[in-house]
Amino acid sequence: MDMRVVRLPAIHHDANLLVVDGSAGNLLIDAGTSWYQALQVERVKGILEDDAPLDRILLTSKRYPCAGGAKHLSESYANCPVHIHPDGQAALEMGDFFTTWANRFDSDMPPIGTEAVEDGEVFALGNGQVEAVALPGHSLDGMGYWIPDQKMMILGTLLPRADRPTRWDLPGGCLPDVLQSLKRVASYHAQSLIPLQGPAIKGAKHVKKVLNQHIEFFEKCLTNGGQVSTSVPKPAQTALWYTPHPPWPLEEQESVN
């Protein structure tokens, strides 16, 4: 049987969570905020069969919508290890509410010890595997996860949603890195992308179209001296993305926001 991958749709500010369940282990990608951490535990338990333990949690970045619930989820599963890019470890271990952006959500950042995950690291799960892909740009510690059997890439904050380009003006952000990371994602020729929020972006043709739209947006910003167009409104306090004007088309729709 194929390895099972289940997306738990984002709630409010939370990131999408991905449960990856293989014949020889399982893992969770991202943990959401601490606001809904108890609910997230119940959602994960509903996916794992026979009260199976959770082996590990992989984070796409230290930002609060991805990592805020990591401590509670880990403790709920026998203190299972939490993995993050080395550049994000200190912020989580300190509970830094500035670089994690937790302060913009009027929240504390629950501190947690983590283990490093490196570019190219492979997590074997028996009938499939998950490969770590370094994707800096939104933040130095940005990490994606590639599931080769399903040609699926989990992107986190690098691609907030099909119609929402990421911000690089937060702590640790870098516009040239955003472009390089998106072009790296394009080189995988994925059949589906899992953004920070919203449903999967599916189909090779549609994936290519969405990635090209994001790449073109950032290329224009780079040409414009590293600034977004004046037609793009100032992001909200909690937003990890820009909202283009006029709005980009959005084929993907979801009732849970």
How many C-beta neighbours within 10 Å does residue 54 have? 22
Strands 122-124 and 4-8: unpaired
Q: Which of 99, 28, 30 minimizes the C-alpha distance to 68? A: 30
User: Mean pLDDT throughout 222-248?
Assistant: 94
Paired with 1 in beta bridges are none
Residue 255 confidence (pLDDT): 60
Residue 257 confidence (pLDDT): 42
User: Mean pLDDT throughout 201-217?
Assistant: 97
Q: What is the mean pLDDT of the chain?
A: 95
Q: Is 101 left (phi over 0), alpha (psi -120 to 50) or beta?
A: left
pTM reported for the whole predicted model: 0.96
Domains for the chain: give ranges and CATH numbers: 4-223 (3.60.15.10)
Instruction: Report the range of poorest mean pLDDT among 19-28, 32-41, 47-56, 180-189.
Output: 47-56
User: Mean pLDDT throughout 59-76?
Assistant: 98
pLDDT at residue 196 tops 60: yes
Q: Which of 58, 67, 84 minimizes the C-alpha distance to 15? A: 67
